[in-house]
Chains A and B, each alone.
Chain A
Amino acid sequence: MPLFMLNLFFAAVFTLLLGSTSISVFLVGFVLGYGVLWVSSPLYPDTRYFTKLPKTLNLTVFFLKELAISSLRVSWDVITPRHINRPGIIGVPLTARTNLEIFLVANLVSLTPGTLSVDLSEDKKTLFVHVMFLEDIDKTRADIKNGLERRILEVMR
């Protein structure tokens, strides 16, 4: 995380040195600073910044894609006169342990395809999810575990 701050600082200095206030110059500065830090990475032996940042970006892109797909699917069911939804509530066993991980999983589940987190069991081991287009219980459960939760845990751990 200190490296991330350093990277932001590089980008800000780059932007100010060029005397501009535009966002694109800042982004170019960020990418250049990342390159500089990456070249000097033997200096920081115990940091995981260089593996975490691509994974965070991967999670963000995956999440935005899923948000778009899910909105289109829900919209289709809203607009067409005949309902195609087959709702159901299923329990998903959680691998996430800490509160922050469970919070992220529950929130991202709420924002991805046709799923909405309803409740958490008392031992914090099962998340109950309301699914709007439930065809195959085991497949949906595996999708949530392998698609979303695995990516979140990769970023967090």
Chain B
Amino acid sequence: MSSLWKSVSGLAVFSLTGSLFSTSLLLWFGYASQLVYTIGDTRQLGPLFLGIIAGSMLFSLVGYLTRPTLSVLILETLAASLLLAVSYSAMVLDSFVLGGTTVLAVSFAMSSALAPVGTLLRLDRGPYSLPMRAMFGTAQGLLTILFVFLYAYHYEANGQLDFYVGPLVLLALSLLSSMVLMRVR
């Protein structure tokens, strides 16, 4: 298998599938925790997207640069769950009135779901070089940010109606993508 083909197929297999699942996880948490409903002030948008951009890039790289073993996956999942639980607690403690710093921290923490996604996708897959894994991780992070931005724009432009459509459609696409991934050996 040529290096170019391996890169392209890896981007499709890992980065695209991973970003669809990651975005749906981000939106799912935003919906389930009611974070999205606490954003009613344009001054919250900067911290919100800054947290998502920084968190998506960092945690996506973590998911692709660590060893893809079951124990690492469990560790990353537990860490992400803990961060989500702490974020939700912070929101409850603030009575869902979130200042800029809290919004930044919560959106950064919820991006931690990207790490176990990358590791899960790579479990029992062939070895990839470090630069290639860094490329997959970067691409997953960038695509996740892009999808989040696109959906946020759509949601805002359409009167903040039916937020559930975003995570629903992305989860459906992610499921389809995972089925395709099953066929790729």
Please say whether chains A and B are actual partners in one complex. no
Which residues of A does B touch, CB under 8 Å?
Answer: none
